[in-house]
């Protein structure tokens, strides 16, 4: 069987599973999720054993320690994974929710209702928890899922896939794992028009670009976060420093961390020395024009740029930002309003840290990623963003005049 | 200047125009729309003259009479076009609308707000009214638009473009027309990542497929409509016939017209003869297994298939439908509920005609097309579907703990 046939076969099975999922009520889906959590715990030994083999192979292959660390399934990560599945079971189910209803003079009543996509493909890299996290989010939203993971985590993912399949029983085709390692498998997935409804990459920029290049189906992109904070003339400078500290230092590897600080010229002479002092204390390396302005450092490093005013900051951000999360610190209401309206990013902040861009912090309960796209979903994606909608129209013999 | 530079240059100008549009309020946008309507009327002579040249060239080239007809700008069509622009001006503006607000215990308040996409590319075929219709919808939603039309209508489109540009004055870059006829121009448009946010084809299946194949940006697809009506056992057969008549005969060339009738076996022996009689009377050609089951006739022709029951109808529709609009005629509430839940189409109907799938009929005020996609927009697309959203977050020095 060639790769095209393999992926097509999986797509056909996923589509049938999606039809079955559509007929389950919320209680049945939650029960399936709790079964999965229990099965993972019951099968922990086999999963840890598979993971140990992956880790040993990665070490033998001299993979970077950070990569090996990401691969390793510790007790804490395992517990977080099963707790995550149970948490998803506890969340409200968006499927079937009514978005609006309209009674039309023509005699029809229209209901706009949230619906599952059908089949979702998730392509991820080395973190094995992504397998279980995304499968749980898809099951909760009645979507079948086809997963494809990095080759380093292959044994772990296969053990997870076997455990989940066993827990799902007759619904096993709702969560399928692509075992073939050929890169072409990803291309086949994103070209499976009519079988896969949407692809979600969970990985770096290279993976996302390769998928977009090959895709005939929609790809929900989660690009990098080049986040800015602009400190305006007249801002509360203590507040600004506290927000800068939180946005840069709390978790520098996060996509919502600060990468580029912009300072209004009238306060630069006073404020930048305070930033230098803070940076020295916290071990943050500052770049004054010696790094590309769109750098995503993901480390204790950042750009610092002095700009004329709020309008210049808006233009700088719209040019260099990745349109993820950008903030203004100001006491000037007109500047705040202008910044919040004109900065073309998924999340725009006034006097708050960019670190809040997160499904949990936004009250979504869970998050499958943070979209830097403008279509379908923008910013943090929770359960609702894993659904589409349809129009359910009822009449009593209504015809169009 | 090569094609890549031409399209990139247009994209850069469109992006700047999008920033300017973002700063206009609703009144200013409506004034611009009314200016356009007036300018079209004032410049009617030049537009008719250009159109007469296009029509003459098309006739000289022996284009099919239907194509020539589509190209011709009659007085009625011209009036409809300017009335359409004024109607769009009268509609509510979705930009800036609050979708929801949340106060979080962390100290931030979140507002989810409708936002323009930025830059929209519309690729259309021969009907010149599409130029003005889509430009008006984009301006109303603060989107800049780049249009590319069919070569048959080139002179008409250029006259329209010049008129609209003059009316827009300093905002002229908000509506740009691609004059080069090279097919590669379309490929350049759908690969302009960062400059064009979304592409909307307004044309046939071949155009849509070519755009998807080349695209790196999202394409909102409006594929064909292979619409079904299933007449269930126990249905009101008079009602069924009236709906079938409306769905097939009122406007057979529409994408929401009936193409495939499904009849439940227990009533087939009685009901199909009535259908035959109606078909004879109305000049509708019936196919009983002699045409592909997914045919889109767009004419007084349709498939008729007898199926076991409601479940078989759902499966048939999910297999052969284009997931546009499908209906059940039944008095059985359980069958209706099952059909409405399980048929995976943008619009599902109970005891009503599929012809209602339309932005106007759904109360959207205007329509840019009917999406057969599941992402971002499904079914009729009005002004709201030409927007994205962003999160506007405010705090008083809020940091993440």
Cα of A268 vs its chain's centroid, Å? 36
Q: What is the pLDDT of residues B358-372, one digit of tens each?
A: 999 999 988 899 999
User: What is the nearest CA distance from B115 to chain A, expressed in angstroms?
Assistant: 9
pLDDT digit string (tens) for chain A, length 401 residues: 699 999 999 999 999 999 999 999 999 999 999 999 999 999 999 999 999 999 999 999 999 998 899 999 999 999 999 999 999 999 999 999 999 999 999 999 999 999 999 999 999 987 888 999 999 999 999 999 999 999 999 999 999 999 999 999 999 999 999 998 888 999 999 999 999 999 999 888 888 989 999 999 999 988 889 999 999 999 999 999 999 999 999 999 999 999 999 999 999 999 999 999 999 999 999 999 999 999 999 999 999 999 999 999 999 999 999 999 999 999 999 999 999 999 999 999 999 999 999 999 999 988 899 999 999 999 999 999 999 999 999 999 999 99
Contact A349 B395 (CB under 8 A): yes
**Is the pLDDT confidence value at B223 over 90?**
no
User: What is the nearest CA distance from A89 to chain B, expressed in angstroms?
Assistant: 22
> Scanning every residue of chain B, which has its alpha carbon at the shortest distance from the alpha carbon of A329?
B397
User: What is the nearest CA distance from A46 to chain B, expressed in angstroms?
Assistant: 36
Contact A363 B110 (CB under 8 A): yes
Chain B residues within 8 A of A118 when measuring between CB atoms: 344, 374
Of A340, A353, A363, the CB nearest to B102: A363
Contact A345, A229 (CB under 8 A): no
As a whole number, mean pLDDT of residues B132-160 equals: 96
User: What is the nearest CA distance from A159 to chain B, expressed in angstroms?
Assistant: 32
What pLDDT was estimated at residue B32? 98
What pLDDT was estimated at residue B154? 95
As a whole number, mean pLDDT of residues B193-217 equals: 91
User: What is the nearest CA distance from B47 to chain A, expressed in angstroms?
Assistant: 33
Sign of CA dihedral A62, A66, A70, A72: positive
ipTM, 2 dp: 0.95
- In the numeric block, the tokens 């943090």 are attached to A380
Cα of B67 vs its chain's centroid, Å? 20
Contact A391 B344 (CB under 8 A): no
Contact B106 A356 (CB under 8 A): yes
Of B118, B216, B350, the CB nearest to A344: B118
What pLDDT was estimated at residue B222? 84
User: What burial class does residue B66 get, using C-beta atoms within 10 Å of its C-beta: 0-12 exposed, 13-18 middle, 19+ buried?
Assistant: exposed
Contact B356 A388 (CB under 8 A): no
Q: Reduced to 3 states, what is the DSSP secondary structure of residue A41?
A: helix
Of B376, B390, B394, the CB nearest to A352: B394
Of B216, B351, B393, the CB nearest to A397: B351
User: pLDDT-based confidence at B346, cuts 50/70/90?
Assistant: very high
What pLDDT was estimated at residue B120? 97
Contact B105, B84 (CB under 8 A): no
Q: Domain A3-221+377-394 belongs to what topology?
A: Aldehyde Dehydrogenase; Chain A, domain 1 (3.40.605)
Whole-angstrom distance, CA of residue A39 vs CA of residue A381: 27
User: What burial class does residue A76 get, using C-beta atoms within 10 Å of its C-beta: 0-12 exposed, 13-18 middle, 19+ buried?
Assistant: exposed
Domain boundaries, chain A: 3-221+377-394, 227-356
- Most A CBs within 10 Å, among B379, B384, B391, B401, to test the A interface: B391
User: pLDDT-based confidence at B126, cuts 50/70/90?
Assistant: confident
Whole-angstrom distance, CA of residue A178 vs CA of residue A196: 14
User: What is the nearest CA distance from A313 to chain B, expressed in angstroms?
Assistant: 14
Chain A residues within 8 A of B106 when measuring between CB atoms: 356, 361
> Scanning every residue of chain A, which has its alpha carbon at the shortest distance from the alpha carbon of B25?
A341
Chain A residues within 8 A of B373 when measuring between CB atoms: 218
> Scanning every residue of chain A, which has its alpha carbon at the shortest distance from the alpha carbon of B394?
A350
What pLDDT was estimated at residue A359? 94
In angstroms, what CA-CA distances link B268 with A77, A209, B274, B319, B343?
60, 53, 10, 22, 22
User: What is the nearest CA distance from A179 to chain B, expressed in angstroms?
Assistant: 27
Contact B375 A246 (CB under 8 A): no
- In the numeric block, the tokens 């029509």 are attached to B55
As a whole number, mean pLDDT of residues B78-95 equals: 96
As a whole number, mean pLDDT of residues B326-332 equals: 98
User: What is the nearest CA distance from B211 to chain A, expressed in angstroms?
Assistant: 10
User: What burial class does residue A366 get, using C-beta atoms within 10 Å of its C-beta: 0-12 exposed, 13-18 middle, 19+ buried?
Assistant: buried
Contact B247, B216 (CB under 8 A): no
Of A341, A349, A390, the CB nearest to B378: A390
User: pLDDT-based confidence at B203, cuts 50/70/90?
Assistant: confident
Chain A residues within 8 A of B250 when measuring between CB atoms: 399-400
User: What is the nearest CA distance from A135 to chain B, expressed in angstroms?
Assistant: 19
Whole-angstrom distance, CA of residue B381 vs CA of residue B362: 10
Q: Which of A298, A378, A312 is nearest to A342 (CA)?
A: A312
User: What burial class does residue B170 get, using C-beta atoms within 10 Å of its C-beta: 0-12 exposed, 13-18 middle, 19+ buried?
Assistant: exposed
Cα of B342 vs its chain's centroid, Å? 24
Q: Domain B3-221+378-394 belongs to what topology?
A: Aldehyde Dehydrogenase; Chain A, domain 1 (3.40.605)
Q: Whole-model pTM above 0.90?
A: yes
Contact B400 A108 (CB under 8 A): no
Contact A391 B362 (CB under 8 A): yes
Q: Which residues face A329 on adjacent strands?
A: A231
Chain B residues within 8 A of A336 when measuring between CB atoms: 394
> Torsion angle of alpha carbons A326, A331, A335, A337, nearest 10°?
70
Chain B residues within 8 A of A357 when measuring between CB atoms: 391
Of B341, B356, B396, the CB nearest to A393: B356
What pLDDT was estimated at residue B365? 87
Whole-angstrom distance, CA of residue A294 vs CA of residue B146: 27
Pair of tokens at residue A253: 């590897």
Contact B344 A23 (CB under 8 A): no
- Most A CBs within 10 Å, among B239, B390, B394, B401, to test the A interface: B390
Domain B227-356 class, CATH top level: alpha beta
Quote the radius of gyration of chain A (alpha carbons, Å).
Answer: 24
Chain A residues within 8 A of B352 when measuring between CB atoms: 107-108, 393-395, 397-399
Phi-psi region of A289 (alpha: psi -120 to 50; beta: other; left: phi over 0): left
Among A104-113, B177-186, B296-305, the range scoring the smallest mean pLDDT is: B177-186
């Amino acid at each position: 069987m060639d790769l095209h046939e393999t992926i097509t076969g999986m797509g056909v099975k996923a589509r049938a599973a999606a039809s079955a999922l559509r007929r389950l009520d919320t209680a049945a889906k939650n029960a399936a999720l709790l079964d999965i959590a229990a099965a993972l715990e019951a099968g922990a030994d086999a999963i840890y054993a598979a993971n140990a083999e992956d880790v040993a192979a990665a070490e033998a292959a001299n993979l970077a320690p950070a990569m090996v660390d990401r691969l390793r399934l510790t007790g804490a990560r395992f517990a977080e994974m099963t707790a995550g599945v149970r948490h998803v079971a506890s969340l409200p189910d968006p499927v079937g929710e009514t978005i609006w209803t309209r009674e039309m003079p023509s005699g029809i009543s229209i209901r706009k209702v949230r619906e599952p996509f059908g089949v979702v493909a998730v392509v991820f890299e080395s973190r094995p928890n992504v397998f279980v996290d995304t499968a749980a989010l898809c099951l909760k939203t009645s979507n079948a899922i086809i997963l494809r993971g990095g080759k380093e985590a292959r044994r772990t993912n296969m053990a997870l896939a076997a455990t989940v399949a066993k827990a799902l029983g007759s619904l096993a085709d709702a969560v399928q794992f692509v075992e073939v390692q050929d890169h072409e498998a990803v291309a086949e997935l994103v070209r499976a028009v009519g079988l896969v409804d949407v692809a979600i990459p969970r990985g770096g920029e290279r993976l996302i670009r390769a998928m977009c290049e090959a895709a005939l189906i929609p790809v929900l992109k989660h690009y990098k976060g080049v986040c800015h904070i602009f400190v305006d003339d007249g801002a509360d400078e203590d507040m600004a420093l506290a927000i800068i500290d939180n946005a840069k230092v709390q978790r520098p590897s996060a996509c919502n961390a600060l990468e580029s600080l912009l300072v209004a010229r009238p306060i630069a002479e006073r404020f930048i020395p305070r930033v230098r002092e803070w940076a020295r204390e916290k071990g943050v390396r500052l770049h004054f024009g010696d790094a590309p302005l769109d750098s995503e450092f993901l480390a204790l490093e950042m750009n610092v740029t002095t700009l004329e005013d709020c309008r210049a900051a808006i233009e700088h951000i719209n040019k260099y930002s990745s349109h993820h999360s950008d903030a203004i610190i100001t006491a000037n209401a007109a500047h705040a309003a202008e910044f919040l309206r004109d900065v073309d990013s998924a999340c725009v902040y006034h006097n708050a840290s960019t670190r809040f861009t997160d499904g949990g912090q936004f009250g979504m309960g869970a998050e499958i990623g943070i979209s830097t796209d403008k279509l379908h979903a923008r910013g943090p994606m929770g359960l609702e963003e894993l659904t589409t909608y349809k129009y359910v129209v009822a009449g009593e013999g209504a015809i169009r005049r």
